[in-house]
Amino acid sequence: MPAEARPGPPPKAPRPPVPFLDLRAPYAELRAGLDAAWARVMGSGRFVLGPEVEAFEAEFAAYCGGAHCVSVGDGGSALELILRGLGIGPGDEVIVPAHTFVATWLAVSATGARPVPAEVDEHTWTLDAAAVAAAVTPRTRAVIPVHLYGHPADLRALRACAGRYGLALVEDAAQAPGARVDGRRIGSGDSTVAFSLYPGKNLGAVGDGGAVVTSDGELARRIRLLRNYGCEVKYRHEVRGTNSRLDELQAAVLRVKLEVLDEWNARRADVAKRYLAAWDGLPGLTLPRVAPWAAPVWHLFVVRCARREELRRLLEAAGVETLIHYPVPVHRSGAYADAGLPAGAFPLSERLADEVLSLPIGPHLSAGQVERVVTALEEAFTRIG
Ligand SMILES: *Cc1c(COP(=O)(O)O)cnc(C)c1O
C-alpha cells in the first residue's frame, strides 16, 4: 500500500510556543507516583466506592479543614446534589452570579428550582452581597457564590447576607481548591462547598470528578445516599438517588496530585506575581485585583481590555494562546433564552463577557514561557496604543 493511502490520525496543528494549557506536563512530573497508583487499583479488582475513594475523601476533607467530604462524579453534580440534599426543588429560587460558568446555573435548573442571577462585584468579579440582597424573594432558599478564576467571593459579606434572609450558603469552588478567606481555607469551618476535579482544574483527575466538603454531617449522609442510587446498604433504596460516583482510578490519581496541590498553587501565584509586576499601569488594561482578605489560587489569570479581539490576535501572532472565560453571559445564552432576561439586565457581567481575556498560567509554564507572555503583551500594547 502506498504511504499516502495508509489511514492514520489527521495531521495536528502545531502547538503554539506558549499553549494555554498542556495537560501532559502534570503526568511528566508525577509519572512514577501516578503509574504506581493506577497499577495498584488495576490489580485490586476494586473499581467503585472502595478504599481509594474513602482515603481520598478523608485526605481532601483534612486538606480543606472540613468535617466531611463526599466525592461525586463531577463538579456540576456536586452542586446539584448539595441542593437536592438541602431539599431544594420546584418552586424554589436560588441566587447565582450573572458572571460564571454555566454549570452553576444548570445545577439549580437540574433540581427543578429557578436560578436567579445577581450582579458581580466590580473588582473581584464575584457575587456582590448587596445585589444578592436585592434579588431575595419569599421563594429564595439558597445563594451560590462562585470563587471565580480562583479568587474567593466575599464570604464575610455573603454569609451575613445569607444569615439575614435565612438562606443556605453553597459555595462553587470548582476553580478554587486551597484558596483562603481571612486566612481560612475554602471548605473549612461552617460551610458547604462544591469542587470540580475536572482535568484542567487546579486539582484535576484524568477524567471527570467532583467533591462536596461540608460541616453538616446529616447533609453529607444525604449526599452519600443520593450519589449511589439512594442506598447506603446495598439494595435498600431510601430515596430516589442517582449514579454520581468518583471511581477508584480517579481517586488514586487525585491522592497523588493532592500532595502537590499547595506547591502547584504556589507556582501559579509566582506567575501571577510576575505578570502583575510587569504590567502594572499599562493604559487600557485592567489587571486582576486581589482583595486584602483573600488568598487566591490563580486558576486563571484574567485581564480586561476594551480592545480584546485585537489584543488576542496580537498575542496569538506572538505565539501566546489565550481563551475567553466566558464569551456569552449565561442569561444571554441559548440555554436560558426562555428566562426572560434581556440584554442590559446585568451590565457589568455583559461588559466582562466582551472584555475578559485569559492568559496562560499554571504550574508547568517555564520561566522562558512566562517571559514570552510578558513581552508579547507589552508589545501588543505598544501596537494597540
Ligand atoms: C468547572 C466548573 C464547574 C463544573 O465542574 P465539572 O466538573 O465540569 O462538572 C462548575 N462551576 C464552575 C465555576 C466551574 O469552573
Cα–Cα distances (Å) from 323 to 145, 193, 313, 358, 364, in that order, read 23, 26, 11, 5, 17
Smallest CA-to-CA distance from 298 within 265, 326, 264 is with 265
Residue from 99, 172, 208, 356 to probe ligand 1 pocket by mutation (most atoms less than 8 Å from CB): 172
pLDDT tens digits in sequence order for the chain, 385 residues long: 444 556 666 666 778 899 999 999 999 999 999 999 999 999 999 999 999 999 999 999 999 999 999 999 999 999 999 999 999 999 999 999 999 999 999 999 999 999 999 999 999 999 999 999 999 999 999 999 999 999 999 999 999 999 999 999 999 999 999 999 999 999 998 999 999 999 999 999 999 999 999 999 999 999 999 999 999 888 999 999 999 999 999 999 999 999 999 999 999 999 999 999 999 999 999 999 999 999 999 999 999 999 999 999 999 999 999 999 999 999 999 999 999 999 999 999 999 999 999 999 999 999 999 999 999 999 999 998 6
H/E stretch holding 261 reads helix 261-279
Please state, in angstroms and rounded to a whole number, the distance separating the CA atoms of residues 334 and 376.
35
Q: How far is the CA of 152 from the centre of ligand 1 (A)?
A: 15
Q: Which three cell numbers stand for residue 274?
A: 510576575
How many H helices and E strands in the chain?
Answer: 12, 12
Q: How far is the CA of 4 from the centre of ligand 1 (A)?
A: 42
Q: How far is the CA of 170 from the centre of ligand 1 (A)?
A: 14
- Residue with the nearest Cα to atom 10 of ligand 1? 103
Residue from 148, 198, 250 to probe ligand 1 pocket by mutation (most atoms less than 8 Å from CB): 198
Smallest CA-to-CA distance from 283 within 257, 314, 304 is with 304
Please tell me the pTM assigned to this model: 0.96
- Residue with the nearest Cα to atom 14 of ligand 1? 174
pLDDT at 6: 61
**Helices 25-44 and 51-64 sit at what angle, rounded to 10 degrees?**
140
Please state, in angstroms and rounded to a whole number, the distance separating the CA atoms of residues 76 and 107.
6
- Residue with the nearest Cα to atom 2 of ligand 1? 174
Q: Which atom of ligand 1 is nearest to the CA of 201?
A: 1
- Inter-residue contact 179 to 150 (CB < 8 Å): yes
Domains and CATH numbers, the chain: 25-258 (3.40.640.10), 261-384 (3.90.1150.10)
Q: How far is the CA of 101 from the centre of ligand 1 (A)?
A: 7
Strands (E), the chain: 68-72, 93-97, 114-118, 140-143, 168-172, 180-181, 184-185, 192-196, 210-214, 294-295, 301-304, 356-359
Q: Cα Rg for the chain, rounded, in angstroms?
A: 22
Ligand 1: residues with CB < 6 A are 74-76, 100-101, 103-104, 146, 172, 174-175, 196, 198, 208, 210
Q: Which atom of ligand 1 is nearest to the CA of 146?
A: 13
**Strand pairing report for 114-118 and 93-97:** parallel
Please state, in angstroms and rounded to a whole number, the distance separating the CA atoms of residues 172 and 239.
25
Sequence-separated contacts (24+) of 157-161 with Cβ below 8 Å: 157/129, 158/127, 158/129, 158/132, 160/129, 161/129, 161/132, 161/133
pLDDT at 100: 98
Cα–Cα distances (Å) from 163 to 95, 143, 151, 189, in that order, read 14, 11, 22, 16
Q: How far is the CA of 182 from the centre of ligand 1 (A)?
A: 24
Please state, in angstroms and rounded to a whole number, the distance separating the CA atoms of residues 97 and 109.
14
Give the 3-state secondary structure of residue 215: coil
pLDDT at 5: 53
Q: Which three cell numbers stand for residue 163?
A: 444569615
pLDDT at 233: 87
